[in-house]
Chains A and B, each alone.
Chain A
Amino acid sequence: MLANIEARYGLDQPLWKQLWDYMSNIILHFDFGPSFKFKDRDVNDIIAQGFPISLTYGSLAFVVATLVGVGLGVWAAIRHNTFIDYFAVTLGIAAQALPNFIMGPILILTFTLWLGILPGGGWNGGQWQYLIMPVIALSTSYMGNIARLTRSSMLEVLNSNFIRTARAKGLPMRAVIWRHAMKPTLLPVVSYLGPVFVYVLTGSVFVDLYFSTGGLGQAYVGSALTRDYAVLLGVTILYGVLTVFVNLLTDLAYAWFDPKIRY
Chain B
Amino acid sequence: MTQTTRFALAALLSSTMLTGAAMAASHVPEGVTLADDQTFTYRVLDEHSSVDPQVVEDVTGSEIVRDLFEGLMNQDEDGNLVPGVATGYEVSDDKLTYTFTLRDNAKWSNGDPVVAGDFVYAWNRAADPALASPYQWFIELMSIEGASEIIAGTAEPGTLGVTAVDDHTLEVKLTSPLPYFPQMTTHATTFPAPQKVIEEFGEDWTKPENIVSNGAYVLTEHLPNERSVRERNEMYWDNENTIIDKTIALVINDENVALTRYLAGELDRTEIPAGQYPKMSQDYPDEATSFPRLCNYYYTFNVSEGGPEAFKDVNVRKALALAVDRDIIVEKVMQGGQPPAYTFTPAAVAGFEPPALEWASMTQADRDAMAKDLLAEAGYGPDNPLEFEMVYNTSDDHEKVAVALSQMWKSKLGVQATLANMEWKVFLEERGNQNFDMARGAWCGDYNEASTFLDLLDSQSGYNDGKFSNARVDELLENAKTADDTGPLYTEVEEIIYDEMPVIPIYHYAGVYMLDTDLGNWPVNNVEQNWYSKNLYKIAE
Chain A complexes with chain B = yes
* Interface locus among B255-263, B284-292, B489-497: B255-263
How far does the Cβ of B155 sit from chain A's closest Cβ, in whole Å?
13
Check A1 against B260 for contact (C-beta < 8 Å).
no
A173 to B534, CA, bound (A): 70
Enumerate chain A residues within 8 angstroms of B52, measured Cβ to Cβ.
39-40
Enumerate chain B residues within 8 angstroms of A38, measured Cβ to Cβ.
47, 49-50, 224
How far does the Cβ of A104 sit from chain B's closest Cβ, in whole Å?
8
Write the chain B residue with the least CB distance to A41: B224
Check A121 against B224 for contact (C-beta < 8 Å).
no
Write the chain B residue with the least CB distance to A111: B264
Write the chain B residue with the least CB distance to A115: B264
How far does the Cβ of B310 sit from chain A's closest Cβ, in whole Å?
46
A16 to B129, CA, bound (A): 28
Enumerate chain A residues within 8 angstroms of B224, measured Cβ to Cβ.
38, 41, 46, 49-50, 214, 219
Known: A38-B50, A39-B55. A112 touches B226 (CB 8 A): no
Check B253 against A218 for contact (C-beta < 8 Å).
yes
Enumerate chain B residues within 8 angstroms of A112, measured Cβ to Cβ.
260-261, 264, 266
Interface flag for A123 (CB, 8 Å) = yes
Check A1 against B254 for contact (C-beta < 8 Å).
no
A-B pairs under 8 A by CB, number:
98
Enumerate chain B residues within 8 angstroms of A218, measured Cβ to Cβ.
47, 225, 251, 253
Enumerate chain B residues within 8 angstroms of A116, measured Cβ to Cβ.
264-265
Q: How large is the interface on A (under 10, 10 to 19, 20 to 34, 35 or more residues)?
A: 35 or more
Check B257 against A222 for contact (C-beta < 8 Å).
no
User: Number of B interface residues, CB 8 Å?
Assistant: 34
* Interface locus among A55-63, A92-100, A205-213, A251-259: A205-213
A43 to B224, CA, bound (A): 12
Write the chain B residue with the least CB distance to A123: B226
A258 to B382, CA, bound (A): 91
Q: B217-242 vs A: 1/0 string, CB under 8 Å?
A: 00000011111000000000000000
A208 to B251, CA, bound (A): 11
Check B257 against A120 for contact (C-beta < 8 Å).
yes
Interface flag for B212 (CB, 8 Å) = no
Write the chain A residue with the least CB distance to B254: A210
Known: A39-B203, A120-B260, A121-B261. A222 touches B225 (CB 8 A): yes
Interface flag for A119 (CB, 8 Å) = yes
Check B49 against A209 for contact (C-beta < 8 Å).
no
Enumerate chain A residues within 8 angstroms of B253, measured Cβ to Cβ.
209-210, 212, 218
How far does the Cβ of B138 sit from chain A's closest Cβ, in whole Å?
14
Check A4 against B130 for contact (C-beta < 8 Å).
yes
A120 to B49, CA, bound (A): 25
Interface flag for B374 (CB, 8 Å) = no
Write the chain A residue with the least CB distance to B204: A40
Check A113 against B263 for contact (C-beta < 8 Å).
yes
Interface flag for A28 (CB, 8 Å) = no
Interface flag for A241 (CB, 8 Å) = no
Check B261 against A40 for contact (C-beta < 8 Å).
no
Interface flag for B46 (CB, 8 Å) = yes
Check B130 against A209 for contact (C-beta < 8 Å).
no
Which of B136, B204, B207, B266 interacts with A120 by CB under 8 Å? B266
A49 to B47, CA, bound (A): 13
Write the chain B residue with the least CB distance to A225: B46
Interface flag for B421 (CB, 8 Å) = no
Enumerate chain B residues within 8 angstroms of A121, measured Cβ to Cβ.
250, 252, 257, 261
Interface flag for A108 (CB, 8 Å) = yes
Q: Which one of B49, B55, B225 has the greatest number of beta carbons of chain A within 10 Å? A: B225
Write the chain B residue with the least CB distance to A108: B260
Interface flag for A5 (CB, 8 Å) = yes
Give B38-52 interface residues, CB cut-off 8 Å to A.
46-47, 49-50, 52
Enumerate chain B residues within 8 angstroms of A71, measured Cβ to Cβ.
none
Interface flag for A171 (CB, 8 Å) = no
Enumerate chain A residues within 8 angstroms of B204, measured Cβ to Cβ.
40
Interface flag for A109 (CB, 8 Å) = yes
Q: B242-283 vs A: 1/0 string, CB under 8 Å?
A: 000000001111100100110111100000000000000000
How far does the Cβ of B42 sit from chain A's closest Cβ, in whole Å?
13
Enumerate chain B residues within 8 angstroms of A50, measured Cβ to Cβ.
224-225
Check A119 against B266 for contact (C-beta < 8 Å).
yes
Check A40 against B47 for contact (C-beta < 8 Å).
no
How far does the Cβ of A95 sit from chain B's closest Cβ, in whole Å?
22
Known: A120-B266, A222-B225. A1 touches B136 (CB 8 A): yes
Check B260 against A122 for contact (C-beta < 8 Å).
no
Check B132 against A5 for contact (C-beta < 8 Å).
yes
Interface flag for B413 (CB, 8 Å) = no
Interface flag for B206 (CB, 8 Å) = yes
A120 to B261, CA, bound (A): 6
Interface flag for B151 (CB, 8 Å) = yes
Known: A37-B49, A121-B257. A212 touches B264 (CB 8 A): no
Known: A39-B203, A112-B260. A122 touches B250 (CB 8 A): yes
Show 5 A/B contacts (Cβ-Cβ < 8 Å), sorted by A: A41-B224, A120-B266, A121-B250, A123-B226, A214-B226
Residues of B participating in the A interface, judged by any CB pair closer than 8 Å? 46-47, 49-50, 52, 55, 129-130, 132, 136, 151, 153, 203-207, 223-227, 250-254, 257, 260-261, 263-266
Residues of A participating in the B interface, judged by any CB pair closer than 8 Å? 1, 4-5, 8, 37-41, 46, 49-50, 53, 108-109, 112-113, 116, 119-124, 208-215, 218-219, 222
The 4 closest A-B pairs by CB, nearest first: A214-B226, A120-B261, A1-B129, A218-B225
Q: A40-B207, A211-B257 are in contact. List 10 more A-B contacts (CB 8 A).
A: A1-B132, A49-B224, A112-B260, A121-B257, A122-B250, A123-B227, A208-B225, A209-B254, A210-B254, A214-B224
